[in-house]
Amino acid sequence: MNRRSIFDNITSGLEMEIINTLVHSGPVRIERIVSEGHNSPEDFWYDQDQPEWVILIQGSATLEVEGRTEPVELRPGDYVNIPARCRHRVARTDESQHTIWLAVYY
């Protein structure tokens, strides 16, 4: 057992999002995602086989969900449970600081 921090090894000026798998056991995978002004390409939608529970630790983000007219605004502490096959995309992440997500796929 090793102690680590969700805030470890984050640099500024990210060209791409950082995705680290923290735990993977059977059907459960936990990832840390670090964004810095990143978003999904205009024509791209996530359409995953597994449900995803995600909590925003730091920063802010906006999600778009297919079939939903209003975007989902996330601030630190906010979480959502995204059902399998629910098409969604990241419309925006904070440009002034790191946006840190914890995603649990189950």
Residue 13 scores a pLDDT above 90: no
Q: Are 76 and 57 in contact (CB under 8 A)?
A: yes
Assigned token pair, 37: 């002004």
CA distance 97 to 75: 13
What is residue 11's predicted lDDT score, i.e. its pLDDT? 85
What is residue 14's predicted lDDT score, i.e. its pLDDT? 85
| pLDDT tens per residue across span 36-74 | 999 999 999 999 999 999 999 999 999 999 999 999 999
CA distance 14 to 66: 28
The domain ranges of the chain are 30-105
pTM: 0.90
Summarize the confidence of residues 76-82 as an average pLDDT: 98
Label residues 27-51 b or e (16+ Cβ within 10 Å = b): eebbbbbbbbebbbeeeeeeeeeee
- Which CATH code, of 2.60.120.10, 3.40.50.300, 3.90.1150.10, 3.30.429.10, is assigned to 30-105? 2.60.120.10
